[in-house]
Amino acid sequence: MLRASAILARAAVPDLPEHANWDELLDERVVNGRLHPLEAALARSLPGPRRATFVAGRTAIREAMASLSDAPIPGDTPILRTHRGAPRLPDAVTGSVTHKRTLAMAAVAPRGGTLQHIGLDLEARPTARDLERPSIARKILTAAEFSWLGQFEHDALHQREQLLVHFALKEAVYKAIDPFVERYVRFTEVELDLTNADDVQVTLHLPEASVADIRVEAHWHTDGDWIVAMAYSHAG
């Protein structure tokens, strides 16, 4: 089995009032080196809620990069966006950002050997209150996955969490393979076997020849109130 690992970092999403002085906050982050001036300019072009998560995501990915001794990114290099919206990193590095309303996480890894891209997703663990909401199982699961989830029918909350694990992992996989397909991938085009959380089996049901030789590894874990899912695409 292919193995890869990434450096993870997190940052709180700024909790600012609706009419907050964003120019002051962005200027302060540029001065202390937590944002590049071009990143701040990009943030200014975004609507308020998206601006907050973007700033947190860039803060997290810069922290992760600072810990990546194999391929650190110079402080004067902006991390902007690709045409698909992913962080634009140096060729020697692959990375991913994910965020929710209050938290952003980033993952980076040196691109070496067969490793091509990584994907990261973050989802809130369900509570009993979430069980009042309709399940998305039939929208995101293949028949085999739906059958596997049935073993947890005696514990509705655990079953809902396993459903969200599927969702998070599929989102991470989509990010890891997006550079190869550059399109929206349907949930049923990726099938998961969650028997082992540290070594999730990923099967791609995609028509593109560009992914014929791509292999994906994935894993997940819980971190407090969060589900954290990682995926790595390998060539060959």
| pLDDT exceeds cutoff 90 at 132 | yes
Residue pLDDT, tens place only, 1-49: 567 789 999 999 988 877 788 899 899 999 988 899 999 999 999 987 8
Helix orientation angle between 37-44 and 48-66, rounded to the nearest 10 degrees = 160
Q: What percent of the chain has pLDDT over 90?
A: 80
Burial class for 74, CB neighbours closer than 10 Å (0-12, 13-18, 19+): exposed
Q: What is the pLDDT of residue 92?
A: 87
pTM of the model: 0.93
- The verdict on 138 and 182 lying in the same domain is yes
Lowest mean pLDDT among 38-52, 156-170, 212-226: 38-52
- Work out the average pLDDT over 167-181: 97
- The verdict on 130 and 216 lying in the same domain is yes
- Work out the average pLDDT over 102-108: 96
- The verdict on 127 and 229 lying in the same domain is yes
* Inside any domain, residue 173: yes
Residue at which a domain ends, from 41, 74, 92: 92
Q: What is the pLDDT of residue 61?
A: 94
Burial class for 21, CB neighbours closer than 10 Å (0-12, 13-18, 19+): exposed
Domain with 179 in it: 121-235
- Give the total number of structural domains in the chain: 2
* Inside any domain, residue 107: no
- Give the CATH number of the domain where residue 225 resides: 3.90.470.20
Q: What is the pLDDT of residue 200?
A: 97
* Inside any domain, residue 189: yes
